[in-house]
Amino acid sequence: MPRQPFSPSHSKADLVYGIGHIANKPKIAEALGRCIMSWSYVDWQMANLLAALMKANSEASVAIFLTLRNARAQRDVLVAAAEMTLTAPNREIFDALMLIYGSLQSQRADLAHGIFGAIREGKDDEIPWIETKNLSKDWIDRFHNPKNKDLHERQANNLIQERHTYIYKLADLERLEREIVQLWSVAFAFTSYLNFPDLPLTSAALEKQCAETPLMAQALSRTRKPKSG
């Protein structure tokens, strides 16, 4: 299950944000760390995939990808290379891989760049999360741009924060970690196949990943659906 809105299920809870609360959620902090650490392997593998698509397999092609820190730019350079070198059914596999990559890349970015808080007397397996821009806006409005007494009182009750806060469960983060590992496994198999297409071992490994990896099977099903219009 993806993250859920803070309200209405937690609307009566005492929501707080502050760096000191992180230490109170060791299991969640560990799960977050595993997600972010696992994603580094995805970045590395996608760089290797770009090298295989470009039929270069050089340090330069890997370096090109790794210097692109913008997520959109990374996907664009992969798509551009695929359009020049891939034909069906390899392009179908690539398109499915990109569906997964885009979704998980966005989820990972939320974890890495959002802000986590705490719920007083909350459950150990839950943690509130808010986009940095929304917490910053609330902070500025509350402390630097007071409008009137009524508005200030509403802000003091965390209504703005609650409106933009979501709840992550430990199970959500553990699921995301598993999916990141699945993405790496498929990308590794696809890259190996592109590098050594005539080896039965790489063909069999890729076929198995496409058939048995839940995320990949779902993505392939989506890419194979006829487009309306």
What would the pLDDT profile of 87-107 be if each residue is shown by its tens digit?
Answer: 988 999 999 999 999 999 999
Confidence of residue 75 (pLDDT cuts 50, 70, 90): confident
The pLDDT score that the predictor gives to residue 147 is: 58
Name the helix (H) or strand (E) containing 5: strand 4-5
Per-residue DSSP letter, 57: -
The pLDDT score that the predictor gives to residue 229 is: 46
Sheet holding 165-169, edge to edge: 4-5, 165-169, 126-130, 115-116
Instruction: Provide, rounded to the nearest whole percent, the portion of the chain with pLDDT above 70.
Output: 84
The pLDDT score that the predictor gives to residue 224 is: 84
Enumerate the β-bridge partners of residue 115: 130
How far apart CA 57 and CA 164 sit, in angstroms, is 44
Q: Are 52 and 191 in contact (CB under 8 A)?
A: yes
Residue ranges per domain, the chain? Answer: 4-221
Look-up of token digits 């090298």: 51
Peptide bond into 128 cis (omega under 30): no
The pLDDT score that the predictor gives to residue 80 is: 92
What would the pLDDT profile of 157-216 be if each residue is shown by its tens digit?
Answer: 567 788 889 999 999 999 999 999 999 999 999 999 999 999 999 999 999 999 999 999
Instruction: Provide, rounded to the nearest whole percent, the portion of the chain with pLDDT above 90.
Output: 59
Q: Greatest CA separation found in the chain?
A: 73
Least confident of 17-26, 127-136, 146-155, 160-169: 146-155
Name the helix (H) or strand (E) containing 53: helix 26-53
The pLDDT score that the predictor gives to residue 12 is: 79
